[in-house]
Amino acid sequence: MFAQWREDIQVVKDRDPACRSTWEVLLCYPGFRALRSHRLAHALWQRHLHLLARWLSERSRRRTGIEIHPGAVIGRRVFIDHGTGVVIGETAEVGDDVTMYQGVTLGGTGKEKGKRHPTIRSHVMISTGAKVLGAIEVGEGAKIGAGAVVVRPVPAHSTVVGVPGRVVRRHGQPVDEEKDLEHGNLPDPVQEALAEITRELAALTAKVATLESRKGVSDVDQSA
User: Phi/psi of residue 122, each to 5°?
Assistant: -70, 155
Is residue 147 within 8 Å of residue 121, measured between CB atoms?
no
Q: What is the pLDDT of residue 185?
A: 55
Supply the range of the domain harboring residue 201.
Answer: 188-224
Is residue 144 within 8 Å of residue 129, measured between CB atoms?
no
Q: What is the pLDDT of residue 140?
A: 93
What one-character DSSP code corresponds to residue 138? E
Same domain, 129 and 143: yes
Positions of the chain with pLDDT under 70: 172-190, 216-224
What are the Cα distances from residue 5, in Å, to 31, 122, 148, 160, 203? 12, 19, 31, 32, 61
Same domain, 115 and 207: no
Chain segment 80-127, per-residue pLDDT in tens:
998 899 999 999 999 999 999 999 999 988 777 889 999 999 999 999
Q: Is 224 exposed, middle or buried (0-12, 13-18, 19+ CB in 10 A)?
A: exposed
Q: What is the pLDDT of residue 180?
A: 46
Same domain, 208 and 144: no
Same domain, 176 and 221: no
Q: What is the pLDDT of residue 110?
A: 72
